[in-house]
Amino acid sequence: MALYLLDYGAGNVQSLANSLSKLGHSFEWISSPEDFHKATSLIFPGVGAFQTAVENLTRKGLLEPLKEYIQSGKPYFGICIGMQVLFQSSTESPNFDGLGIIPSTVERFDDSDKTVPHMGWNSADVVQTSDVEPAFYYFVHSYCAKYSPLDKPEAASWAYTTTQYGGEIFISSISKGNIFGTQFHPEKSGAAGLALIDNWLRASDAAKSAKIPTADYLPSPPTLSLKPRDNLSKRIIACMDVRSDDEGNLVVTKGDQYDVREKVPSGSSMQVKTGGAVRNLGKPVTLASKYYAAGADEICLLNITSFRHSPLQDQPMLAVVRAAAECVFVPLTIGGGIKDTVDPDGTKRSALEVASEYFRAGADKVSIGSDAVYAAEKLLASGQNHGDGTSSIETIAYAYGRQAVVVSIDPRRVFVDASTYDGPHKGELVHGSPDSEIENDRGKSWWYACTVSGGRETRPISVCQLARAAEVLGAGEILVNSIDRDGTGLGFDLDLLNLVKRSVKVPVVASSGAGRKEHFSTVFEQTGVEAALAAGIFHRGEVDIGEVKEHLAHNDIKVRTHIA
């Protein structure tokens, strides 16, 4: 079998390549129109925007050969945009035609009752009997083919599985003849996704003739009497702050309120102060692999000293990302230093180039911290409600899709006297209860200021201003840290998260302060965030990811529990 992968030049195709290597399948890349003739099986792992995919395929002269390949009857597997491009059009890019193989349109989710993009683990319902557990796969998309047998019978006839998100049911995979496609990302869906890819490859290998016997390798098609159920799960993310220790080795570290050095005795008194060695909690790839096996829904690696130099010069960090991507088959986010930089030899590197390097190494999303604050300040100063297209958020979202861009906020509380404060953040003041169990909250008032450079510099804009601006500029997700809660184990900052959650429509990830499994149920129940991230408790082995999920399931919070 000659398996080929189609890479149109944007999107993280490395994840699929890593999955195939893990499964022991060899493959080639389509590099010219002639390669379509050599291919006997083709996978198109499209990520990003519909327009970018169609434009790039057209520019490279690959669109027509792709259509001819599919029409020849040879096995085709389209992932995400690779499935959407089979449709006639998408409302995402009305001026660009798809391949028109499925005579229907891809449309945006209705965001009046839910956050968009639809991001996370949801079930693909191939329910044959009511006691069959559906498989969970990782989705990340804002546009979908709605499943409506009455209004859109043509599209519905292609539906292989359907999935519900909020009140909408959409086609989560299609199958007809030689064509198979998934809206979800099997290459990012852990063991269930790897098994699906493997089954498809084995079947297409076996199908030496033009037609693939789909029924032999995939679950039975869905019954049309669907039982609607939105199974989008809350995500648990394991985060590793990575930096060089004093010997120059990259280690996973963990700070208290962003101070990652060990505490040491201070002079003759019994007091301690920080300033010791960088805390070393393990090796990044070993821990990433451990958390994947334990059921983490996503893994996050933050290069926490990258604001000091160019990440493109940081070959050890890139090697860590590559190695982690080879053993982690859930989404991998890389943060730190995503901004326009200048190499020591004077070469200018755009934020897009930096991000592209991380995507090529195997990242699925990049997280932008400091640079997002500067971009938000610029947007606010312009008085416009759209960017000028030059910020890192915009350029990366344009090329890779907004789902690939996370904005990571590092807020710090600014305490004020509420009776006299008349500053610009008056409407966002939080008042701590006089009998709060947390000393730092008790009877105080504050607003949340954004910081840059790992919390070293406080800026005048608030978290709500940053979150809103980031969404306008094209961020697909907001990660909310808290310098006040980081490493304290006091629980997530619920006031902070509620403020951000009310400010944006995109998914919000809670971070900083998890100390017990109960903190996870509290944050989901009291703020509605889509995901919760923790570092210290996982690194120190105080709570296991499985225990957190068991606790959440016990409290009727939807989680992905079947990881194998």
Q: How far apart (Å, rounded) are the C-alpha atoms in residues 141 and 536? A: 31
Name the active-site residue from 7, 92, 241, 493.
241
Residue 312 found at the interface with ligand 1PR (CB under 6 A): no
Using CB under 6 A, which of 46, 98, 219, 255 touches ligand 1PR? 255
Place of tokens 């190695």: 323
Name the active-site residue from 168, 198, 410, 530.
410
Name the active-site residue from 7, 35, 80, 493.
80
Which residues, 327 to 356, sit near ligand 1PR by CB under 6 A? Answer: 335-338
Question: Quick one: 163 or 488, whose CB is closer to ligand 1PR?
Answer: 488
Q: Least CB distance from residue 329 to ligand 1PR, whole Å? A: 22
* Region from 21-29, 304-312, 441-449, 463-471 binding ligand 1PR, contact rule CB under 6 A: 304-312
Residue 411 found at the interface with ligand 1PR (CB under 6 A): no
Using CB under 6 A, which of 84, 122, 511, 522 touches ligand 1PR? 511
Question: With 0-12 CB in 10 A as exposed, 13-18 as middle and 19+ as buried, what is 378?
Answer: middle
Decide if 410 is catalytic: yes
Q: How far apart (Å, rounded) are the C-alpha atoms in residues 133 and 231? A: 12
Residue 535 found at the interface with ligand 1PR (CB under 6 A): yes
Using CB under 6 A, which of 27, 258, 358, 524 touches ligand 1PR? 258
Decide if 539 is catalytic: no
**Of residues 530, 557, 559, 553, the one with CA closest to residue 233:** 559
The one-character DSSP state at 369 is -
**Of residues 166, 180, 273, the one with CA closest to residue 218:** 180
Residue 369 found at the interface with ligand 1PR (CB under 6 A): yes
Place of tokens 């301690």: 272
Using CB under 6 A, which of 341, 481, 521, 527 touches ligand 1PR? 481
* DSSP character string of 204-216: HHH--SSS--HHH
Preceding peptide of 117 cis, ω within 30°: yes
SS (H, E, C) 100-125: CCEEEEEEECCCCCCCCCEEEEEEEE
Decide if 185 is catalytic: yes
Q: How far is CA 437 from CA 152, 432, 441, 492, in A?
A: 55, 10, 8, 14
Using CB under 6 A, which of 16, 101, 192, 514 touches ligand 1PR? 514
Q: What residues are designated binding site for substrate?
A: 337, 481
Question: With 0-12 CB in 10 A as exposed, 13-18 as middle and 19+ as buried, what is 63?
Answer: buried
- What is the signed CA dihedral for 333, 337, 342, 343, rounded to 10 degrees? -70
Question: Quick one: 62 or 467, whose CB is closer to ligand 1PR?
Answer: 467
Using CB under 6 A, which of 8, 307, 329, 398 touches ligand 1PR? 307
Which residues, 89 to 118, sit near ligand 1PR by CB under 6 A? Answer: none
Using CB under 6 A, which of 62, 86, 174, 239 touches ligand 1PR? 239
Contacting positions for ligand 1PR (CB under 6 A): 239, 241, 254-255, 258, 260, 302, 304, 306-307, 335-338, 367-371, 408, 410, 454, 481, 486-487, 511-514, 534-536
Active-site residue numbers? 80, 185, 187, 241, 410
